[in-house]
A and B are shown apart, each in its own frame.
Chain A
Amino acid sequence: MLDPAALLQFGQALALQPGPATLQGFQLPEGGWTYVVSIVIVSLQVSLTAVALSTLASLPVALAIGFTDFPGKRLVTAVINTGMGFPSVVVGLVVLMLLSNSGPFGDLGLAFTPEAMIVSQFVLAVPVVTSISLSAVESVEQPVRDAAYAMGGTKRDVGLVVIKEARYGIVTAVLAGFGRAISEVGSILIVGGNIVFSDGQSYTRTLTTAITVEARQGRYEVGLVLGVVLLALVLVVNAVGSWLRDKGRGEGSV
């Protein structure tokens, strides 16, 4: 295990020529590794929770839309697809208005909390997860659903078969939703407030919002390091996703 304190010293030792725009070394911001680690934890907590919740909400919607024909289906699909391009600052603004003390949900006291960030990332990820899983669900052909029904499956069994047949597409949808959530800045800056406690523990600061702070303060190296950490996280999550997707190939579990 790495000792954070030792690393901090290492970081300081490397900072031979502190100052902006030098890549020879970098000075960790106040709070050191505690700060960085807590930022990573907040980022992951917020984005993973938001994506898990949006998957739970999106899959039934995608199944319902994919399974039924109703007037206005194309319109609903178009609206969901449009939702993928929601400007995140607008979402942040609306969520803050709803959650602020004077807003309809002000009593919940959620403004400037990680929960508020989860809400706004949820809103941003839902259209992405819904839209991509909808096209995955729709690609499962009617004869396959018919086969499940003809073998004595209930509606729920048929739905389960569709989810399992569409599993690669659904994993892709979840990964895309996670990508949208973790790389998000605008809305969580507005609803979370980018708060760090005086001991360096992050409350609502994530990797992305921390990078904006570092960039504004001219500490590009720290910003870059945080960027690398962010990239590494996205890479790890995607690798796990791809592994899951490929693992099922050929040995699915209908």
Chain B
Amino acid sequence: MTLRATDVSMAFDGDEVLENVSLEASPGEIVTLVGPSGTGKTTLLRLLALFERPDAGTVSWDGEDAWALGEDERLSVRRRLSMAFQEPSLFNAPVARNVAYGLRVRQGWASRARSALGRLVGPDTGPPEAVAAALERVGLGDKRDQNALSLSGGEAQRVAFARALAVEPEILLLDEPTSNLDPRNTAVLEEAILDAAEDGVGVVVATHDMHQAERISDRVVFLLDGETVESGPPERIFDDPDDPRTRRFVRGELLYDADEVDEGSTEQNSPGSGRVSSQSE
């Protein structure tokens, strides 16, 4: 049950977005990916979710290269993961049906047809238990019949999280899951992430929020310009990082444009750091 990216590289239109990055997600562990905007966090999550095949390196599940598997086997690996995006991208349907989507595609066509028919003629049996539970967990149990497109930004983001959670994934990939949330709902979601990890789910979270990374991580990975600068337990990364770039990033000096901060700096000599790609996010 380990999802691992090994030395993956990815370029879009000749622009290198990730270079030899490795990352491992294992049960019960929360890994946060931190780094400035456009540094490849989203691309790395998409590679882990098996959206694209990396240009170089491998993404493996329990040691098996996922892209060496047949389509059906890769699908069954994909169905043990789930991902929620920064943009909620909900379907034009009631909240409960959005959250139940992952469960539905896991059913056979016959059973999907039966339940569609049942919905037309039968009594309303309400959403499956996992759906109701996921909605309760993000505090939206009362919104299940509302159309998802009529929700506020923060509610939509919580529904997207519930949708990813409802399939009971072994690995949960989250891209900026709290970017649209107020502090109270951020706390609700962080609690849900911690609960999931306690239940044995491996979580990878890309986040801008250093405090969040500090609060929830078991391990922090600092990415800059598509490369891993440093990774380790949050105490070390935040209090006593090895790399001077990490220290500056943690202090809030290296947020958006590595170029500007780099100028006149003597600490900095990494070859890739003069460029911040805007491709990946």
B12 on the A face (CB < 8 A): no
A141→B97 CA distance, assembly (Å) = 19
Nearest-Cβ distance from residue B149 to partner chain A, whole angstroms: 9
* B51 and A164 contact, CB distance less than 8 A: no
Q: Is the CB of A150 within 8 A of B91?
A: no
Known: A161-B91, A165-B92. Is A152-B82 also a contact (CB below 8 A)?
yes
Which of B79, B85, B94, B105 has a CB less than 8 Å from the CB of A146?
B85
Q: A143-B85, A154-B105, A254-B98 are in contact. Are A149 and B51 (CB under 8 A)?
A: yes
Q: How far is the CA of A251 from the CA of B150 in the complex (A)?
A: 12
With A150-B85, A151-B163: A254-B51 Cβ-Cβ less than 8 Å:
no
* Given A150-B164, A164-B92, 19 further pairs, Cβ under 8 A: A143-B87, A143-B89, A144-B90, A147-B90, A150-B51, A151-B164, A152-B75, A152-B79, A154-B75, A164-B93, A251-B93, A251-B94, A252-B91, A252-B94, A253-B97, A254-B91, A254-B92, A254-B93, A254-B98
Q: B163, A146: Cβ atoms under 8 Å? A: no
List of A residues within 8 angstroms of B105 by Cβ: 148, 151-154, 157
Q: List 20 A-B contacts (CB under 8 A).
A: A143-B87, A144-B90, A146-B85, A147-B91, A147-B160, A147-B163, A148-B91, A148-B101, A150-B49, A150-B84, A151-B101, A152-B79, A152-B102, A153-B101, A154-B105, A164-B92, A165-B92, A250-B94, A251-B94, A252-B93
Flag if A147 contacts B89 (CB, 8 Å): yes
Q: How far is the CB of B145 from chain A (nearest CB, A)?
A: 9
Least CB separation from A149: chain B residue: B51
Which residues of A come within 8 Å of B, CB atoms?
A: 141, 143-144, 146-154, 157, 161, 164-165, 250-254
Instruction: Confirm or deny: B179 has a beta carbon within 8 angstroms of a beta carbon on chain A.
Output: no
Given contact pairs A143-B85, A147-B160, A152 touches B93 in the complex (Cβ within 8 A):
no
B91 close to A250 (CB less than 8 A): no
How far apart are the CA atoms of A144 and B90 in the complex, in Å? 7
Q: How far is the CB of B150 from chain A (nearest CB, A)?
A: 8
- A165 CB contacts on chain B under 8 angstroms: 91-92
Q: Is B56 an interface residue (CB 8 A)?
A: no
Q: How many B residues, CB 8 Å from partner?
A: 30
A254 touches B147 (CB 8 A): no
In the complex with contacts A152-B75, A152-B102, A154-B75, A252-B92 CB distance below 8 A: yes
Cβ of A161: which chain B residues have Cβ within 8 Å of it?
91
Once A and B bind, how many residue pairs between them come within 8 Å at the CB atom? 75
B167 within 8 A of A: yes
Contacting residues, chain A, for B143 (C-beta < 8 A): none
> Which residues does chain A contribute within 8 Å of B97, judged by CB atoms?
252-254
Assembled-state Cα–Cα distance A250/B92 (Å): 7
Nearest chain A residue, comparing its CB with the CB of B102: A151
- Give A88 to B147 CA distance when docked, in angstroms: 43
Residue in B closest to A143 when the chains form the complex, CB atoms: B89
List B residues 160-179 near A (Cβ within 8 Å): 160, 163-164, 167
Contact of A152 among B87, B91, B160, B167 (CB under 8 A): B167
Query: Is B83 on the interface with A (CB-CB < 8 A)?
Result: yes
Query: In chain B, what residue has the closest Cβ to A155?
Result: B71
What CA separation (Å) do A252 and B160 show in the bound complex? 17
A149–B85 CA distance with the chains assembled, in angstroms: 12
A251 vs B82: C-alpha distance in the bound complex, in angstroms?
25
**1/0 per residue B138-170: CB within 8 Å of A?**
000000000100100000000010011001000
* B165 CB → nearest A CB, Å: 11
A122 vs B157: C-alpha distance when bound (angstroms): 44
Q: A151 CA to B84 CA in the complex, in Å?
A: 9
B160 CB contacts on chain A under 8 angstroms: 147
CA distance A149 to B87 in the complex (A): 15
Q: Is B116 an interface residue (CB 8 A)?
A: yes
Bound complex: CA of A157 vs CA of B105, how far in Å? 7
Residues of A within 8 A of B82 (CB): 150-152
Chain A residues contacting B167 (CB-CB under 8 Å) are 151-152
Flag whether B247 is at the interface (Cβ < 8 A): no
> Is B251 in the interface zone, CB < 8 Å from A?
no
Which chain B residues border A152 with CB–CB below 8 Å? 75, 78-79, 82, 102, 105-106, 167
Complex Cα–Cα for A253 and B100 (A): 11
Instruction: List residues of B (45-96) whose CB comes within 8 Å of A's CBs.
Output: 49, 51, 75, 78-79, 82-85, 87, 89-94
